[in-house]
Structure 1
Amino acid sequence: MTQLTGKVALVTGGSRGIGAAVAKRLAKDGAAVALTYAGSEDKAQAVVSDIEQAGGRAMAIQADSRDDQAIEDAVERVVSSLGGLDILVNNAGVFLIGDIAELGRDDLDRTLNINLRAPFVAIQAAARRMRDEGRIVSIGSNLGPRVPWPGLSLYSMSKTGLIGLTKGAARDLGPRGITVNVVHPGSTNTDMNPADGEMSDPQRDLMAIPRYNEADDVANLVRWLVGPEGRSVTGAEFTIDGGANA
């Protein structure tokens, strides 16, 4: 028996990158895992297949993070299909950059809806159905606490908002033993920001350890927070960025 055996987890945006790594890591430690995806059904089903082939239990749920009802329905489906909910990982996100004078209101709405409103809705829905001693982790960004380049005002605002949401929800849910934390990854080697990409060297120049994260590095930190070792850690921020924000 592993430490998450009997637990049920929901990972939003779990079809690729950090979300896929988190889903697989939690499943490896025994959790039954549901993951949401917006449009990449083939990638989501590939993650489910990988988990099942390794002996785990998983399911994929189509849910656009801009749709409140879709998020709420995903939570209900997890509870009805997998028998409960113990872990929520808010990973779905969008990265839009641009000068603040040039960004459109549609950019504003999309970014805030996916990066901030969706985690609020998911936490709210999960709190109503989550068992006591549950775990909630949101994936923020090291570009929330620190903005090293221009063009990041919108994205950084949305990720900074997760900090306040995390601290407030930690106070609200603490009496039930539910922990709420936020993880701030720095540059992570995914298809969105490859370690050999055009802008990778300027990112490494910021780091104390000039090495990109792998998605598994972030997943391992999330796993620690949602396991028994993290039971007294709540309302906290964890930056994993090679010291870029040091």
Structure 2
Amino acid sequence: MASVQSVLVFGASRGIGLGLVQQALVTHQTATIFATARDPTRAVSLVTLSEKSNGRVKIIVADAVDPKSIEHVAEDIKKTNSALDLVIYNSGVSNGFGNLLDVGIQGLKDNFDVNVFGAYYAAVAFVPLLLKSTYTKKSLVLLSSTFGSLALSTQILAAHEKIQGATGYDATALYNISKTALNQLGVQLDHVLRPQGVLVLLVHPGIVSTDMNPFGGISPEESASGILKVVESFPSAPGKNFVGYDGQVLPW
């Protein structure tokens, strides 16, 4: 099996995305890592990593809610690479924290813009490059969450009620809804792409300690390492491609 020569991490300025770039440099030692950031001037750690990577980390400006911006990323990559072996869509937001009947519609729109629509724009833009890859396990990886699992919703509600000290609602409901929609998007993409040799994986990164989640229990580095191991080793099957960073198959 040919080794991975090109990886795109979309949403790499900090947290899990930055961890994925760091781990990809180690795991795929001859690969070029394309890393997107909305504003590289604020992505100091990513810029430093790029400067120390001997040219292996290439930063590209991109905005997940702008399809033209995402198209420009694909065009930039095509200038030097005819294919991508792995595409990891990591961009995500969690807006509208509170009782979903009180917080208003804007948070839901924001979550869908980045978590769902951005993932769709990325699939449209980067699948043509994935299809040209000769890597056996070429994959489109969408960072999802157990919060989007319908089967686990009662358990997640109970856990969140305990954390937030309130009962009768899940404060991350708007985010959860967007991740459920993302899972369905991933399923539909898998129907289209699996027959063409591209796997679509929906990966729960774990409860990671990031700027967006102060309640995390694992580091971005641990999460990123697990995600890349899952991509390399998991024998994905139709309907079994919603998995945790630890390789556990998750219920829809």
TM-score grouping bracket, smaller chain normalisation:
0.7 to 0.9
Cα distance, 1:123 vs. partner? 1.0
CA separation in 1, counterparts of 2:6 and 2:16? 19
Q: Which residue of 2 aligns with 1:137?
A: 141
Q: Which runs of 5+ in 2 are unaligned?
A: 161-169
* Match in the other structure for 2:63: 64
Kindly indicate whether the alpha-carbon contact (under 8 Å) linking 1:10 and 1:78 is maintained by their aligned counterparts in 2: no
Q: Could you tell me which residue of structure 2 aligns to residue 182 of structure 1?
A: 202
What letter is aligned with 2:188? G
In structure 1, the residue corresponding to 2:148 is in which secondary structure?
coil
Aligned match of 2:167: none
Contact between 1:144 and 1:157, CA under 8 Å: does it hold in 2? yes
CA RMSD of aligned residues (A): 2.6
SS in structure 1 at match of 2:34: strand
TM-score normalised by the chain length of structure 1: 0.80
Deviations 1:162-212 (A, max 9, x none): 211122111211122111101113321223324xxxxx3xx7xxxxxxxx1
Mapped pair 1:224 → 2:222 = no
Residue 56 of structure 1 and its aligned partner are, at CA, apart by 5.7
Following the alignment from structure 2 to structure 1, what is the Cα–Cα distance between the partners of residues 82 and 45? 23
Structure 1 unmatched runs, 5+: 195-199, 204-211
- Over residues 124-163 of structure 1, what are the superposed CA-to-partner deviations in whole Å (9 max), with x where a residue is unaligned? 2111222244211111112111332322221001111121
Counterpart of 1:197 in structure 2 is: none
Identity among equivalent pairs (%): 27
Does 2:164 correspond to 1:165? no
Partners of 1:180 and 1:187 lie apart in 2 by: 22
In 1, Cα distance between equivalents of 2:80 and 2:41: 19
Contact 2:230 2:245 in 1 (8 A): no
What secondary structure does 1:191 align onto? coil
Cα 1:25–1:155, aligned 2, differ >3 Å: closer, same or farther? Answer: same
- TM-score of the superposed pair, with normalisation by structure 2: 0.78
- Number of the residue aligned with 1:206: none
Deviations 1:67-96 (A, max 9, x none): 111112112212223443221101011011
Q: 1:233 and 1:16, CA in 2 relative to 1: closer, same or farther beyond 3 A? A: farther
